[in-house]
Structure 1
Amino acid sequence: MIADRIEALIERRGTNPRAVALAAGMSPTGVRDIIIRKTKNPTFANLLKISEALGVDVMEIVSGTGLPPETISIAGKVGAGAQVPVFDAYEKGDGPQVEAPPGLPPSGVVAVEIVGDSMEPIYSNGDLLFYSRATHEGIPDDVIGHRCVLEDADGMGWVKQVKPGDEPGLFHLISLNPGATTMWNKKLRWAAKVRLHWPAELSRRF
């Protein structure tokens, strides 16, 4: 849809609808209205102005021709029963990429790859988990009780349900496999809720 392509181009350029509208000589809300109302047939004259403001050929907006897929960085690998050193590429945003799953905005989102089969049948080897970090370090209150991607004090990456520990700053890490051992009173560097689980066979990597 034209409105979705305009929104994607704006996001990739790190700008906003108002700035694009003003650069295109439109009313301040002109581009926002196209996006919000999902206007199917905005005038070609306006599309041409918007494409010039964004520095793209108008056909990229009209038909999507030449638009690269939106991608998300794969930050590293995590395990459940086995220790896996986590490589956190969150700040750099480089490294392997995966095409963003439908409906998941790529901005501020990172993926990690599951290692091993200890999380079967919930997660399988090679599956991807997508998450967003609210802070570079620390454990936000809203992750408690949820399935999380996390890094412990030793630099190991895990996928666990996070529960409060017996003392402040410590956490119990509950395995997704009922037969696995709980990790008691662990210090964590960070934890982030899993936003989306994407099976390996559906992922398109670059």
Structure 2
Amino acid sequence: MNEIEDWCRSAMAHADMNQTDLAAALERETGIRTQKSKISKMLNGSREFLAKEMLAIAKITGYPLPNAHLSTAQTKYAVTAGGVITHLEAGLLPDIVIPAIIRGHDLCAAIIASENITPAWERGTVVFYDENRDGVDPEDLGKPCIAQIEGGQTMIGTVRNGSEPGLFHIHALSRWYESVFDQKLASCSKIVVAVPPELALTSGGDSIQ
């Protein structure tokens, strides 16, 4: 039994739920059909937990996410109005504990500091991303990313190919913001996972909220 399976059992005990209860609650929370057999497979190690499932279980049970042996991500950006990203000086905001669901990545964090980024990302949400990327990885196209425009600002949005090779569109994640088109990008880092504020912990063990 690994630490993720142990964590799920502890979360179920914390909420006084059995596998049937958790399956039903997980289906309501995610909108994805979930049977007791799926929970059983996750608990016996024959099926891995998905990041979105662990986030949902933490929300359902009120039990904190496991951490990756207290490794942390430096908070380097705040996402402000328009999806534009403000670079933060070191130490201005606390480092964030990296949940075990995304361990193994060398990550940084950005905090959503404005409303209406997306319906799912409320103010205070922490997004983790891999900063050590130059250029654009074709596998990241069509996914939410943190993208730095050459000689310009850094934005959060869905990156897609532009009208010519080497140019890219950054599509806004909210109808309230404008997309930008045909930009050369210095870097593009896919968002690995977004953690809601009630589940995010600082390196000091405090909640983001």
**Which residue of structure 1 aligns with residue 188 of structure 2?**
191
Structure 1 distance, partners of 2:104, 2:89, is: 17
Which position in structure 1 is the counterpart of 2:114?
Answer: 116
Aligned-pair identity (%):
24
Give the distance between the partners of 1:145 and 1:184, measured in 2 at CA: 14
Structure whose CA Rg is larger: 1
8 A contact 1:122–1:176 mirrored in 2: no
Task: Determine the C-alpha separation between the residues in 1 that align with 2:198 and 2:159.
Answer: 28
The residue number in structure 2 matching 1:203 is 200
Runs of 5+ unmatched residues, structure 1:
5-37, 39-66, 90-94
How far the C-alpha of 1:106 sits from its partner, in A, is: 5.2
* Distance in 2, Cα, partners of 1:144 & 1:160: 11
Q: Which amino acid aligns with 2:130?
A: S
1:173 corresponds to = 170
Runs of 4+ in 1 over 4 A off after TM superposition: none
Go from structure 1 to structure 2 and tell me whether the alpha carbon gap of 1:107 and 1:82 turns closer, same or farther (over 3 Å shift): closer
Provide Cα deviations, 1:159-186, integer angstroms capped at 9, x if missing partner: 1000111122211111111343221112
Q: Tell me by how many angstroms 1:205 deviates.
A: 1.0
| Equivalent in 119, 129, 132 of residue 131 of structure 1 | 129
1:95-110 equivalence runs, <5 A:
96-105=94-103, 107-110=105-108
Instruction: Identify if the C-alpha distance between structure 1 residues 169 and 80 changes in structure 2 by more than 3 Å, giving closer, same or farther.
Output: farther
What residue number does 1:22 align with? none
**Partners of 1:81 and 1:118 within 8 A in 2:** no
- RMSD after superposition: 3.1
Q: Distance in 2 between matches of 1:87 and 1:150?
A: 16
Which residue in 2 is equivalent to 1:86? 87
- C-alpha offsets along residues 30-67 of structure 1, whole Å, 9 cap, x if unaligned? xxxxxxxx9xxxxxxxxxxxxxxxxxxxxxxxxxxxx9
Q: How much does 1:191 deviate?
A: 0.8
TM-score (norm 1): 0.57
Give the secondary structure class of the aligned counterpart of 1:139: coil
> Aligned letter for 1:148?
C
Q: Kindly state the Cα deviation for residue 108 of structure 1 after the two structures are TM-superposed.
A: 0.8
What SS is found at the alignment partner of 2:73? strand
For residue 134 of structure 1, report the CA deviation from its aligned partner.
5.4
State whether residues 139 and 188 of structure 1, in contact with CA within 8 Å, keep that contact through their aligned partners in structure 2.
yes
Partner deviation per Cα, 1:91-111 (whole Å, 9 max, x = no partner): xxxx73111123221541221
CA distance in 2, matches of 1:100, 1:81: 27
TM-score, L = length of structure 2: 0.56
Alignment of 1:1-206 (within 5 A): 69-79=70-80, 81=82, 83-87=84-88, 96-105=94-103, 107-133=105-131, 135=133, 137-206=134-203
Contact 2:79 2:114 in 1 (8 A): no
